[in-house]
Amino acid sequence: MLYKHLSDVTEEELDKLLDRTGELMDVSETVSAILHDVQEKGDDGLREYTKKFDKADIQAIEVTPEEMEEAMGLVDAELIRHLEIAAENIRNFHAAQLPEKTWFIEPTPGIKLGQMATPLASVGAYVPGGRASYPSTALMTIIPAKVAGVKSVVMCTPPGPDGKVNPLTLAAGKVAGADHIYKLGGVQAIAAMAYGTESVLKVAKIVGPGNVFVTVAKMMVRDKAEIDFPAGPSEVLIIADDSADAGMIASDILAQAEHDPKSVSVLVTTSAELAEQTNAEVKKQADAAVRKEIVDSSLENAAIIVTDTMDECIAISNDFAPEHLEIMVKDDDSVLEMIENAGSIFVGNYAPVAAGDYASGTNHVLPTAGYPKLYSGLNIHHFLKYSTIQKITKEGLGSIGETIIALAEKEGLQAHADSVKLRLND
């Protein structure tokens, strides 16, 4: 773990910390081959790659009602209750994001301009498996789509070697309201949703996180299905002063570290004492970590940086553009006002990233690797499209007619100009 005062951090160390796009390594050749095979072979290609990568023989690609019933029976009723609590909070938050469906303004008599929001026809939600199951991601990807009014929401998630999906993930898909659930992971799942197969419905947009292969696959199918944004290994940056608690900060660093060996955790603080305490706490808590091997690998990417001023902390954060940003300072509002780039922001000592990951209601599907400079985290607008509307009377057209005609003729588009002249001279 990098542990230094900002003045001692080398340019090479800073560049490594700030440039995480290298995680989206070039695997395009492998991804392209799988996409092509699935497009050509359909269900047979899906079964072939599921056997190769997940070690599972699957005949029925879609989860059957019997499999769903079996899964629900295997999940403790108390866990179902907690899924429903989280689902309700997620549903309420995203419902609050809904825009007015249709609105109009009248800037000039006879001209009414407006906008109409309509949901996408279909959405595919990718829910990772791999190192762990993520039922929470099923809630985060499916519920906002349903709140937006998307009629067909499908979910893809990889099966285990027995050909079955984790029961809790299936339960989450059911609670969230998925219309179809497919036993598919990796590039082949993205291909299936983008192109459609005999068993899998083609969708208009694919959302959800995944590994580098999934991310590259999403980026490569954008001519067939839109996507949310690129997303790589999880990351957190914590801005703290001497009012913060070292044990809490360390626990949040480890919470990110246990995701993936390539996860990134950073503390920037004005307090050398807090930095020292946090460093000691991280080592102590890491020794007792359940996923110790993953945590130890991830901590090689971690950093604790001491600065002279809070402005320096904020500048580092804005350059880093973290997926998750925690603010643990006395005057948190003043810091919050200066934040420009972050996927999701957690303010105060009692707002750990885990709250947003599971149950507060905000979405945990977020851009990483500096992409918060360009993209917003998953939200209701990802599932809507907008059409502009114009209601124009003859009087209204007359008020802008000369302008339209002049500009159209200047561009050499006489028919455009004539379409206005005809109406004004009738």
256 assigned ligand-binding residue: yes
CA 62, 88, 128 angle in degrees (round to 5)?
Answer: 40
Type of residue numbered 363: N
- Active site residue: 23, 67, 281, 323, which one? 323
Is 323 catalytic? The answer is yes
416 assigned ligand-binding residue: yes
324 assigned ligand-binding residue: yes
The whole-angstrom separation of Cα 365 and Cα 144 is 11
* Residue 185, both tokens: 């992971």
188 assigned ligand-binding residue: yes
409 assigned ligand-binding residue: no
3-state secondary structure the chain: CEEEEHHHCCHHHHHHHHCCHHHCCCCHHHHHHHHHHHHHHCHHHHHHHHHHHHCCCCCCCECCHHHHHHHHHHCCHHHHHHHHHHHHHHHHHHHHCCCCCEEEEEEECCEEEEEEEEECCEEEEECCCCCCCCHHHHHHHHHHHHHHCCCEEEEEECCCCCCCCCHHHHHHHHHHCCCEEEECCHHHHHHHHHHCCCCCCCCCEEECCCCHHHHHHHHHCCCCCEECCCCCCCEEEEEECCCCCHHHHHHHHHHHHCCCCCCEEEEEECCHHHHHHHHHHHHHHHHCCCCHHHHHHHHCCCEEEECCCHHHHHHHHHHHCCCEEEEECCCHHHHHCCCCCCCEEEECCCCCHHHHHHCCCCCCCCCCCCHHHCCCCCCHHHHEEEEEEEEECHHHHHHHHHHHHHHHHHCCCHHHHHHHHHHHCC
382 assigned ligand-binding residue: no
259 assigned ligand-binding residue: yes
* Residue 34, both tokens: 């799988």
Residue 262, Ramachandran bin (φ over 0: left; ψ between -120 and 50: alpha; else beta): alpha
- Active site residue: 94, 324, 364, 382, which one? 324
Is 276 catalytic? The answer is no
The whole-angstrom separation of Cα 77 and Cα 171 is 11
Neighbours of 42 (CB within 10 A): 18
The whole-angstrom separation of Cα 426 and Cα 422 is 6
Q: Which residues is 326 bridged to in the sheet?
A: 238, 346
82 assigned ligand-binding residue: no
The binding site for NAD(+) consists of 126, 188, 211
The binding site for substrate consists of 234, 256, 259, 324, 357, 411, 416
Which amino acids are annotated catalytic? 323-324
The binding site consists of 126, 188, 211, 234, 256, 259, 324, 357, 411, 416
The binding site for Zn(2+) consists of 256, 259, 357, 416
